[in-house]
Structure formats: structure tokens, C-alpha cells
Amino acid sequence: EQQRIAVGRALVLEPKILLLDEPFSNLDARLRVRMREELQTLQRQVGITTVFVTHDQEEALTLADRIAVMNKGVLEQVATPDDLYQHPQRMFVADFIGTMNFVRFRFAPALGALVNEALRVPVTSRWPEGTEVTMAIRPEDVLPVDGDAGFPVRVVRIVNLGHYRDVMVEGSGTGLLKMFTSGQWQMAESQVLRLRFRRALLYADGAEVIEIKEPELTAGTSDQSPRS
């Protein structure tokens, strides 16, 4: 009620801009969601520009028309919630907004591929030899596959969240990966699965982010010259 009264008092003054600095930080989870919905409805009704400061990613994605991501006083990216989630321009934003998996590679020009100790990914992009490249993958873009396609991983943990499962897997060259799956895939801890990535983003120092669909990860070698 104190939060509602505080917002009401601010609106009575008919300000051109309403500034809110983490107004829901002291509320419990359920009340937080209700206040979020009330504020969004109120903001639409009054039509007032609102600047909402928060460290809660869900609040930002739920409430905002546009989000500005700050990092140590530096403005990293300004975009709509959908664009920010799907196309983070920097690794900080990719890591900060939502959940993201990261797999490290380096570029091997002789192979035309990204390689690490166990995996190889053919790419058409080019960087200087030995460039460290990070592949970023959302958990919903990590998909189980049948047969011999994809790459093998072992199931480490399964958390059943009702409408979906939060699954942690571990593979050679990928380390730990988080994936979100529906209940249609039957799996158990310690089971070996084969996975593929539906979509990935590539980050390299000093280069623009690159989006690739269906990256082809295969067992490989970190050698930069093809084997005979």
C-alpha cells in the first residue's frame, strides 16, 4: 500500500516524466508481480513517460518499451526488449539479459573453422589467425536430436518446472550447458544425449556480433592444418 500511495502522490503533480528507482525491491515475489501489472496498466492509462531503474531483468523485459543497459556508467545498448534479447550487441548484454550459454573457440584459418580441444565449427566469417571467439547460445536454442547427428553430452541435472524442464548437460568442448525442453523428451540424469544448436551468436574482440543459424558442431581437433 505504501508503494501504491507513493506512486499516486507522484502522479498527482502531473509530472512530464515519472522517475522510479527500484520501487519494488522490498516487496515479496507475488506482490512484485501484481505491482508490476498495476504500474504497466496505470502508465498506459495516464500516458506518461516513465524511467524505471531496476536490476531485475524480468521487470525490465516485462515493463519496458525500450531498455537501456548500463555497465559501470557506460551505455552498452538501447533497444526494444525483443531486440535486446535476440540481438545483444555485446557479450555483457548477452550475459546480463536472460540466460546464456558460452562456448570458447579460436579461429583456425587453414580449416576455415572455429576449434577448441574437442569441437570444430565451419564458418564463412574471417578473423585474424588465433582470434578468440565466443559462441553464445540461449537455452531454448539447445535441442536434443535423434540418431548420430549433433554432438554428445551427458545429463547432469534435471529440474522439472511443470510446463518445461531446466536441464544441465556437460560435454567435451562445451563444458556445462543449460537447456530448456518440453516434457516430450524423456531423459534421466547421467544419460547420454546428442544435441544441436538452433541459433548462435559469435563474439570476437573488436568485431561486430555475428548470428549463425544451425551451426554445425562436430568432433574435431585443435590442429590448424587438415589431417590427411
pLDDT attached to residue 226? 38
Find cell 540466460 and name the residue.
99
Q: How far apart are CA 49 and CA 69, in angstroms?
A: 18
pLDDT under 50 in the chain at which residues?
223-228
Q: What is the DSSP letter of 114?
A: E
147: left (phi over 0), alpha (psi -120 to 50) or beta: left
**Grid coordinates representing 127?**
578473423
Cα dihedral 159, 164, 166, 172 sign = positive
Q: In what order do the strands lie in the sheet with 192-197?
A: 142-145, 192-197, 151-160, 165-171, 175-181
| Residue 112 · residue 183 · CB < 8 Å | no
Angle between helices 2-12 and 29-46 (to 10 degrees): 20
**Grid coordinates representing 224?**
590448424
pLDDT attached to residue 74? 94
